[in-house]
Structure 1
Amino acid sequence: MNSKQLKILAIDDTPANLALLGLALQDDYQIQIATSGGKGLELALDAPPDLILLDIMMPDMDGYETCRRIKANPLLKDIPIVFVTALNEIQAETLGFSLGAADYLTKPISIEIARLRIRNLLEREQFRQELQRREAEQRLAASVFAHTHDSVVITDSENRIIDANAAFSRITGYSREEVLGKNPSILKSGRQSTEFYKAMWQALNAHDHWSGELWNRNKKGEVFAALTSISVVRDDNGQIHHYIGLSADITPLKNHEYDLERIAHFDPLTGIPNRVLLADRLSQALAHTHRAGNHMAVCYLDLDGFKPVNDQFGHEVGDQLLIEISLRIRDCLRAGDTVARIGGDEFVLLLLDFNDTRECEAVLERMLCKVAEPLTIADNLVCVSASLGLTFYPDDRANADTLLRHADQAMYVAKQRGKNRYHRFDQELDRIALIRGETLTQIEAALINNQFVLYFQPKVNMRLGKVLGAEALIRWQHPERGLLSPAAFLPDIEGTEMVIALGNWVFARALDHLQNWQNMGLNIVISINIAPRHLLHHDFVETLRAGFAAHPQLRPHCLELEILETAALEDIGRVTAVMKECQKLGVGFALDDFGTGYSSLTYLKALPAETLKIDQSFIRDILGDPEDLAIVAGIINLTAAFHRQVIAEGVETEEHGLLLLKLGCDNAQGYGIARPMPAGDLPAWIANWLPNQEWLKKPALPSPSGTGPEQESPLE
């Protein structure tokens, strides 16, 4: 007790009476003096003292009344009061004690006795206040223990439960009586290892505290997550007295985290990993394969025929089909493998730990068979198959993204080769594809930068010496490689949207040239080559219509479209419909490279093409190859039978022309007539062209083939 900090209030109407006592006490206590009961009450209320010395015999308000008023005030009632009086009657003491006095000092006052009594009273008051504080703390602790939402369990030094609160019983299902004397390990779920608990006890012993997440099991056997804090309580000798464990049930939070994890990393429809989790799994798989020194396969799977199922039966059936397919794929995989859905009907598989690639191929063959098995969904019989591309690591030493791209490329090859099969990635094909991609980018840039030009190769009627028109041929004026022929770049855009863009450019430029020549008084027919993909594009006819609308002065039938015979026969129904729509606009058609494919006479009859072009590969060798000669003669006779016109490509010499005229083919183009030339040179060439006199001497055949002199030339 620091007595110097304690204050004593002395109330006496005769201060001299307390002077001696005040002098004796002022070294140990703060002394405050009031000369009346009223003044004493005022001072006490302003700053309550730790003890009051109160004279009984005072005017106006004696000591008894003052004591009564002090004890009646809640702020002052616990302050010890010592009466100081000359009275020495039992009745007076009894009255004082009944009013709440703590002691009496009788005048004349013995300083030593007064000092001891005052000290004892103050110490006792300090003990009372400390006890009162501790009781309040204990009541608060008991209230927290009883009413807190978190579980509280107390164990002894041997970790035996000695108390548990109501929240513990609510969370675990065990009553307090059921767990008293037992070890908290009765709650273990088995989800956490022995090493986990060993580390927990090491932290407790070293730091007297541990906190973390525990997976426990309640009385019903249900697993729950608890955010737990354990503290060690030691006695005055530093020995462990007991442990206190506080736990909050965080199962709803963990379930929410799990749901978020599922949303972030798993496909919501099939429940298998999505693209995000696949990236993580692939990274781990590459590291594992590198350490193990064996093989893994990255596979890209796409369903064949899924879109028709969706279109015919609806998306609900399509979704159920995807769920079933994912289950079938998983059934074919092993424990360490992964299947992920990365969109639509596309899946990626990671197959690990193969010593021999043939093991993997056996798995894939089994999987393809399983996927292709028919199944019934909502009373609908559904059949699909799968095309699968794969690449092996480390044979293919690429990074994760590139491995996926390689597998994707291989999958497209599998589709092109008939579907319902797998194909292994070919690095040489990939190298070619990369080169093609770079070339495609350059071609796109060339179109933007106006590096393409049209050249024109005249077509003539050899027997009449008349110019029929010209074929528009695209050239690339490459800034570094010079003028490039179509063979140098068109194969690289085959099958891409660039075919359509470049085809539209050729069409637009051809109409521009036709308009310019018509303004000059030159009326000819221009033919342009149209790729199959372009011809069957959904807005092809509208593009033609818009082009002619932009050139309203062009005369009808000034444009001819050349299409490959083989391409026309691939989808003859659609091709025929498009051709007829174009012919309504005045556009003619020619079958290009005729004879190089396998043609059915029925198909030929159905196609509304006015002209057949004999491929130059037959014309070039007709002078020395009887077989080519027979083919050319057969084609010419075929066109006569079907009342079509015929034109020969690749006429390089006078002898070629004479033989063709003899066979009944009057129309031709080739180097023997003219090489392809810039657009600006064509009008002058037409004006200055001198027909071959030997060709003009050949008489007309009595049997018309649709190419004889009785036909009107397009120039007339």
Structure 2
Amino acid sequence: MSDKTTPVNNRQENDHERLELIINATGVGIWDWQIQTDELTFNERWAEIIGYRFDELDPIKFDTWASNLHPDDLIRANELITQHFNGDLEFYEVEARMKHKSGHYVWVQASGKLVEWDIDGNPKRMIGFHLDITDRKKAEERMILASQLLNESQRIGKLGGWELDIKTGDLFWTEETYRIHETTPDEFNPTVDAGVDYFLPESKIVIAKALDEAIKKGVGYDLELETYTTKGRKIDVRTTCTVSMEDGVPVRLVGIFQDITEQKNNQRKLEKSNRDLSVANSALKLSAHYDQLTGLPNRNLLSDRLEHAMAKCIRNKKYIAIAFIDLDGFKVVNDTQGHDAGDELLKKVATQLKHTLREGDTLSRFGGDEFVAVIDDLTSPSESNLVISRMLESLSSSIPVGDKLLKTSASIGVTFYPLDNASPDQLLRHADQAMYIAKQEGKNRSYIFDVERDVAVKHLNEELNRIAQALKNQEFVLFYQPKIDLRTSDVVGVEALIRWQHPEKGLLSPASFLPAVEHDILDIEIGKWVINTALKQLQTWQAAGHNIPISVNISPMHLQHSVFVNDLKKKLSNYPQFKAESLEFEILESSALKDIELVSKVMKECEKLGVRFSIDDFGTGYSSLTYLKRLPAKYLKIDQSFVRDMLFDKDDTAIIQGIIELAKIFDLKVIAEGVETPLHGELLLSLGSYLAQGYGIAKPMPENEFLAWLVKWEHAPYLVDGSK
């Protein structure tokens, strides 16, 4: 009997071992619940799932197991157990979180079934298993998150997807595709035909053809079309298609469906803006290059065409005539007939002038009633004469404007390039200058610019600029020429004479630069510098104990300037130690005659400030006795030309004698310039003139040399030949 039972027992033991191996290999935790005693037994894997060793948990109660469940999952687990006990569920199955020994939760799939009941039918025993599904749940969570992110991304990007099974005809839409069509899966069953029907007519033709090509030939597409949503709202969409093939036959279409309404609207706005901008640019370009009133090229285009014409004429060895045209009396038309009539006249003038020019010539409206003609490709300057004559003739007539005939004429200034080898802007200025001369000479005529005269003007401007720079750089100095009393040899004063210490040319006399500034504002600036320098010198000498009056030359322009006296007051206020009659102004006899009233007034106001006057170069002008009487001067300076020749010219001696007698009548003192020898001094004394200056006494000297000369003179005065 024992021989028969042993194999069975061995077989059972082997089966039990194999079952354990299988269970351990699958990683399943086994549990056995004695319901009525609440005892729960389990295998080692069950304990490992929640981080324990087998001996740490065996045995435990059901309540211990329940306390390890996540609170949110415990309610559901109890409900399912109850339903299983009641026979509502064949199996108990739940996915729940159990607390791990380390404190975190792991996901388990718990499955079980009642296997025993007591005699009263109450549940007695339940067995089951736990499977660790933590990794699976994490993967599911990641998939859910990825799906949510995908859906959110599709929502934000308004980018849906679709898939068509060609064999079955099933069409799948993603959530965003439904949203784009303003519908839901419950409201709309997507089909190819239904989807195509929503497209606008032109787009419907395109998408139908594209789908047909994809289904039959496997050709994908990427299209931008217009469609309606299920609510009737028109939208712009981008739809694409990628074809999957099997054995060379299309089986599946996959693509995207994107709402691009906003982008297309922005694109349309941008395109409209670009069109508007293009129109504006065209208008701007037109206004930038053409005159709005006459339609002629304006200054900008004229400059461009003139530059091209100049370059071409140099290459071809030809000439260009630049004619500056100005209507005579146009302001009168505007003032009497109104601006509308003036504008109409300008348009008709432009038309008439264009008809006088040759093909290839340019007529431009320069501004106002000014026009410029560029007469190109001339073999000689005289070839332009006929064109200029035609322009004058066309404008020296009556032009109908409204119901009136307006008489017109024009003045034209002309210059020729490259005879006038200037820049485009300078050529226009030269023609403009010539036009003004034509007006000055009687209007209704032309005048050709004088290039040689312009060169002289340019040279003068360059000279003036250099003189102004010299004044700024303090290159000017004062030299001093003594004045003496022939009777006593006393020094009674000095005349301050300007010199230019040129850095390249050396010391320059006044004759080399003062004529250039005679009619320029620089004349006044130099005069101010001389007065300032003389006042500083006076202060220096007075501080050193030398009370020597200084006389300076004042130009007519400076003397008659409106602020001359006020400027002098300000200057003298800077020298509180200034002594009356220590400063003297020498003015030319001719300058005093131009405005005797003004000059007399200025001289009187200066006398109140302690400044004396001399009339310089007396005898060379045309003074009347009345003028001489009205000028409050203290000295007459006899011009050196008379003094120098008096030794051998009786007429000069007579003139000097007359000036001396005239001075006595008007209570004026006489100073003789040009004293070069002792004989000059002796003769002057015999005639009754005892104040003198000249090379025979001393040449003009810089300040330091003058002081050295003064010491020698005071010790032993002498004339040039050494006589006392």
TM-score for both structures, normalised by structure 1:
0.51
Match of 2:574 among 550, 555, 570: 550
Alpha-carbon distance in 1 for matches of 2:327, 2:663: 45
Alpha-carbon distance in 1 for matches of 2:353, 2:419: 24
Match of 1:666 among 690, 693, 700: 690
Alpha-carbon distance in 1 for matches of 2:602, 2:410: 33
RMSD: 5.6
Alpha-carbon distance in 2 for matches of 1:323, 1:451: 56
Residues 1:553 and 1:403: Cα distance change in structure 2 (over 3 Å): same
Q: CA deviation at 1:459?
A: 1.5
Q: CA deviation at 1:660?
A: 3.5
1:114-193 matches, within 5 Å, as 132=197, 136-137=201-202
Look up the match of 1:471.
495
Look up the match of 1:509.
533
Look up the match of 2:672.
648
1:587 aligns with 2:652: no
Alpha-carbon distance in 1 for matches of 2:696, 2:317: 66
Alpha-carbon distance in 2 for matches of 1:370, 1:530: 54
Which of the two has higher C-alpha Rg? 2
Q: For residues 155-186 of structure 1, what are the alpha-carbon distances to aligned partners after superposition, in whole Å with 9 as ceiling and x for unaligned?
A: xxxxxxxxxxxxxxxxxxxxxxxxxxxxxxxx
1:455 aligns with 2:479: yes
Q: CA deviation at 1:549?
A: 0.9
1:615 aligns with 2:632: no
Alpha-carbon distance in 2 for matches of 1:386, 1:350: 17
2:671 is paired with a residue whose SS is strand
Give the total of aligned pairs: 463
Q: Is the 8 A contact 1:48 1:76 kept in 2?
A: no
Q: For residues 290-339 of structure 1, what are the alpha-carbon distances to aligned partners after superposition, in whole Å with 9 as ceiling and x for unaligned?
A: 57765433467999999xx99xxx99999999989989996778434646
Q: CA deviation at 1:461?
A: 3.0
1:495 aligns with 2:519: yes
Residues 1:287 and 1:500: Cα distance change in structure 2 (over 3 Å): same
Q: Is the 8 A contact 1:329 1:367 kept in 2?
A: no
Alpha-carbon distance in 2 for matches of 1:536, 1:672: 34
Alpha-carbon distance in 1 for matches of 2:390, 2:631: 45
1:679 aligns with 2:703: yes
Q: CA deviation at 1:587?
A: 1.7
Alpha-carbon distance in 2 for matches of 1:671, 1:661: 17
Q: CA deviation at 1:403?
A: 3.3
Q: Which amino acid aligns with 1:623?
A: L
Q: Is the 8 A contact 1:462 1:667 kept in 2?
A: yes
1:371-410 matches, within 5 Å, as 391-404=415-428
1:300-311 matches, within 5 Å, as none
Q: CA deviation at 1:367?
A: 9.4
1:76 aligns with 2:189: yes
Q: Is the 8 A contact 2:363 2:371 kept in 1?
A: no
Look up the match of 2:602.
578
Residues 1:332 and 1:264: Cα distance change in structure 2 (over 3 Å): closer
Alpha-carbon distance in 1 for matches of 2:629, 2:349: 49
Alpha-carbon distance in 1 for matches of 2:329, 2:637: 38
Q: CA deviation at 1:525?
A: 1.8
1:276 aligns with 2:271: no
Q: CA deviation at 1:492?
A: 3.7
Alpha-carbon distance in 1 for matches of 2:169, 2:288: 77
Alpha-carbon distance in 2 for matches of 1:592, 1:249: 78
Q: CA deviation at 1:671?
A: 0.6
Q: Which amino acid aligns with 1:136?
A: P
Q: Which amino acid aligns with 1:512?
A: K
Residues 1:656 and 1:640: Cα distance change in structure 2 (over 3 Å): same
Q: CA deviation at 1:566?
A: 2.9
Alpha-carbon distance in 2 for matches of 1:526, 1:386: 57
Q: Is the 8 A contact 1:532 1:568 kept in 2?
A: yes
What residue ranges of structure 1 are gaps of 5+ in the alignment?
Answer: 1-45, 55-71, 79-125, 142-246, 374-384, 698-716
Q: Is the 8 A contact 1:289 1:295 kept in 2?
A: yes
1:255-266 matches, within 5 Å, as 256-257=280-281, 260-261=284-285, 264-265=288-289
Alpha-carbon distance in 2 for matches of 1:530, 1:416: 37
1:334-349 matches, within 5 Å, as 334-335=356-357, 336=361, 338=363, 341=366
Identity over aligned pairs, percent:
46
Alpha-carbon distance in 2 for matches of 1:612, 1:597: 13
Residues 1:464 and 1:77: Cα distance change in structure 2 (over 3 Å): closer
What residue ranges of structure 2 are gaps of 5+ in the alignment?
Answer: 1-161, 171-184, 207-270, 398-408
Q: Is the 8 A contact 2:678 2:719 kept in 1?
A: no
Look up the match of 1:481.
505
Q: Which amino acid aligns with 2:519?
A: G
Q: CA deviation at 1:553?
A: 0.6
Q: CA deviation at 1:473?
A: 0.9
Q: Is the 8 A contact 2:293 2:347 kept in 1?
A: no
Q: Is the 8 A contact 2:299 2:364 kept in 1?
A: no
